[in-house]
Chain A
Amino acid sequence: MLEIKDLHARVGDRKVLDGISLQVPNGEVHAIMGPNGSGKSTLAYVLAGRPGYEVTGGSVLFRGQDLLALAPEERAQAGLFLGFQYPVEIPGVNNVYLLKAALNAARKHRGLPEVDAFEFLQLVRGKMKLMQMDEAFLSRGVNEGFSGGEKKRNEILQMLVLEPALALLDETDSGLDIDALKVVAQGVNTLRAPDRAIVLVTHYQRLLDHIRPDRVHVLARGRILRSGGPELALELEARGYDWLLAGETA
């Protein structure tokens, strides 16, 4: 699904990724953990093609395709989804309008006709029920006046509607109370499938209590310090990051 080799990137003059190599096979869920400022969100932005994040070396293959050669919207159309840590508000643009435009862009890319209005509404209603969202959300402006938790739910709703091949979820758990966390986790779990992969960027073990990862990677100073199974996350929860960082400098 995703094959990152020796990826280097910078923002302005600041080096932010310093040789990341990572493989995420089909059907797996990977968690990327690490202290603040370690480059977790940066990695997600670089993969999604955010302007201002300059790749200075390395390669990324996404479903056998050179991901870095694609424009941001082409990466999305090819099936890469980024759940934002801080979803932006777009006043006056209906949620349902954005959602439909996004779905149709993806369908167009796959050579499918635009979705029928009735089918679309059926589809969205089903997913909203799963996310325990009120239908009034649809006619509200994109994230306009949403609480932090509502914004995160909305990200997952979009993901469920778009059914991406690869979902990168950037701190989707931050700002959620425990009930909301469960709902969001349930949403993510329904997307697990043999032909998909999910990458969770998170600070905390608590999300991983609800979404069990196949692999856990620790990222610090723009590099992956250690990779392991789910038990690595538990060890981090117990011991923090310092012992790993100390090992790095030694």
Chain B
Amino acid sequence: MSNNAQLEALVGRGYQHGFVTDIESDSLPPGLDEDVVRAISRIKGEPSFLTEWRLRAYRHWLTMHEPTWAHVRVQPIDYQAISYYSAPKQKTDGPKSLAEVDPKLLETYAKLGVPLHERARLAGVAVDAVFDSVSVATTFKDRLHKAGVVFCPFSEAIHSHPELLERYLGTVIPHTDNFYACLNSAVFSDGSFVYIPKGVRCPMELSTYFRINAAKTGQFERTLIIADEGSHVSYLEGCTAPMRDENQLHAAVVELIAEHDAQIKYSTVQNWYPGDENGVGGIYNFVTKRGECRGRNSRISWTQVETGSAITWKYPSCVLRGDNSVGEFYSVALANHCQQADTGTKMIHIGANTRSTIVSKGISAGRGQNTYRGLVKILPTAHGARNFTQCDSLLMGARCGAHTFPNVEVRNPTAIVEHEASTSRISEDQLFYCLQRGISQEDAVNMIVNGFCKSVFKELPMEFAVEAQNLLAVSLEGAVG
């Protein structure tokens, strides 16, 4: 077998997280109109301001069109064929502890390696597990509660902290922002809410696992993280999905707000079902993530490892409004088989002496198409702004593609913007060198890809870095160690 054929065999293994949990779902029938939007709001017992906000979003969405500028080919989506609400059936109103959680759910999490029970505590991670659209288990509330940290399902925050929601929701990503964010604003079902009070350093990493389960159920999570003055939080998001033949739409919205001297570190490992090697099935991941460094000396850092989904359309961005604020984006994106990834970031410099760093590592294998799309915008007010961008692509095999669309807009002459880019292939020379040192083909590919991604992996929290490598390995099917 030639080296190339071996590589293809290595990257061609099956998806290992493809299983479906058999639980009765309590869903709205497919379709979307104002009544559906009202129904979602009613099920959740939302205050009227939120119902009205959803309706405004829905009405605006009707005037919008799907974006077509991304370098991806999307099968037409029938938005009337989607069910906009699905909840696992519970005997009571909701579980008060793990003992009340459906054992089948817990089994699912065990298969995924979600660290509930003692494993979670040992790992120092609080898990707010989202199964389809409703949060079913939240751990470590007490410890967080003592620190004054609010970490709960979005639907709970609606009742416990409506004033914070009203003040912050949609202030970074307005309901009119883009087609998918607008749809999310109208129909979002659940997600996570985090509030870190002034001066508090969150005592543990916060973690959420998302999983799409019911057939034909789009997921529309909404996450809102607020770091008040001088606070600090690290948030981890990880996901994997069961095997499905039909495309499943996922249009999440994540808003981050960092006030004066606050820091938010948001890390994602995304491993949704990418479709089979012929491009059948797989998740459409059309996500809007944006953080605003609202205060002075604030910092928002996005780190993402994107290995799953049939199509990824995602640009975690930073609005650097506060003087001396810092935005960071570290990304590893993998496109294997027929996957398409169009991902990158936007760094909007508004305040003086704002700084941003972008490190993007794209890996293309099989027939995968990987696109980096970035915008660095320096506004006239951003005196002394700095940006550094590094954008590297690694190609495995001859049928994949890497594309780079860096946009730079500088409106202040004192700004310094740097951009470095490279495209390379896993060379037969590198592979043979490792083989000649007695290292197996699989370990060699692992080592080389891992080396390529190193500057991003080192930004991940320790436990997550290991998990990220594992998930990348599953997606490259043993190609990363």
Contacts and interface: CB of A to CB of B under 8 A. Distances in A.
A141 B447 CA distance: 11
Interface string A150-164: 000000001000100
A72 B435 contact: yes
Interface stretch (B57-65, B105-113, B252-260, B425-433): B425-433
Interface stretch (A13-21, A88-96, A124-132, A210-218): A88-96
Contacts of B437: 76, 98, 101-102, 105, 158, 162
Is the interface on chain B under 10, 10 to 19, 20 to 34, or 35 or more residues? 20 to 34
A51 B433 contact: no
Nearest to A86: B429
Contact of A92 (B433, B439, B454): B454
A51 B2 contact: yes
A51 B452 contact: no
B427 A88 contact: yes
A82 B436 contact: yes
Nearest to A108: B438
9 contacts: A51-B3, A73-B441, A92-B453, A93-B450, A98-B439, A101-B437, A102-B437, A109-B438, A142-B433
Nearest to B4: A51
Interface in A44-88: 48-52, 71-73, 75-77, 81-82, 84, 87-88
A77 B443 CA distance: 14
A51 B375 CA distance: 42
Contacts of A91: 451-452
B440 interface: yes
In the complex, the 7 A-B pairs of residues with the closest C-beta atoms, listed nearest first: A92-B451, A93-B451, A76-B438, A102-B437, A105-B438, A92-B454, A72-B435
A105 B451 contact: no
A82 B433 CA distance: 9
B215 interface: no
B450 A106 contact: no
Contacts, number: 79
A124 B450 CA distance: 23
B346 to A, nearest CB: 27
A24 to B, nearest CB: 18
Contacts of B448: 90, 93
B32 interface: no
B447 A97 contact: yes
B397 to A, nearest CB: 15
A137 B437 CA distance: 18
A73 B428 contact: no
- The residue in A81, A87, A88, A141 that gathers the most chain B C-beta atoms within 10 A of its C-beta is A88
Nearest to A103: B438
B28 interface: no
Contacts of B452: 91-92
B410 interface: no
A149 B464 CA distance: 39
Contacts of A101: 437, 439, 443, 447
A187 to B, nearest CB: 17
A106 B436 CA distance: 11
A73 B454 contact: no
A76 B436 contact: yes
A111 to B, nearest CB: 14
A224 B450 CA distance: 43
A144 to B, nearest CB: 9
A162 B443 CA distance: 18
A149 to B, nearest CB: 18
B433 A84 contact: yes
B435 A73 contact: yes
A92 B450 contact: yes
A106 B438 contact: yes
Contacts of B454: 92-93
A77 B3 contact: no
A26 to B, nearest CB: 21
Given A51-B3, A90-B430, A102 B451 contact: no
The CB with the most chain A CB atoms within 10 A, among B428, B435, B438, B441, is that of: B438
Contacts of A97: 447
Given A48-B436, A91-B452, 4 more contacts: A72-B432, A73-B438, A105-B439, A105-B440
B455 A92 contact: yes
A76 B435 contact: yes
Contacts of B428: 51-52
B408 interface: no
Interface in B446-474: 447-448, 450-455
A233 B437 CA distance: 30
Contacts of A90: 430, 433-434, 447-448, 451
A159 to B, nearest CB: 10
B271 to A, nearest CB: 22
Contact of B430 (A82, A88, A102): A88
- Of A50, A93, A109, A142, most buried by chain B (CB within 10 Å of CB) is A93
A162 B438 CA distance: 10
A113 to B, nearest CB: 16
A109 B438 CA distance: 9
A51 B447 contact: no
A196 to B, nearest CB: 17
Interface string A19-53: 00000000000000000000000000000111110
A12 to B, nearest CB: 13
A109 B429 CA distance: 24
A50 B432 contact: yes
Nearest to B432: A50
A98 B427 contact: no
A49 B434 CA distance: 12
Contact of B436 (A52, A72, A92): A72
A81 B435 CA distance: 11
Contacts of A158: 437
Contacts of B443: 101, 105
Contacts of B433: 84, 87-88, 90, 142
Nearest to A164: B438
B256 to A, nearest CB: 29
Contacts of A76: 435-438
A11 to B, nearest CB: 13
B438 A77 contact: yes
Q: Determine which residue in B429, B440, B451, B452 has the highest number of CB atoms from chain A within 10 A of its CB, and name it.
A: B451
A92 B452 CA distance: 6
Given A90-B433, A98-B434, A141 B439 contact: no
Interface string B303-316: 00000000000000
Nearest to A102: B437
Contacts of B455: 92
A149 B386 CA distance: 38
A51 B438 contact: no
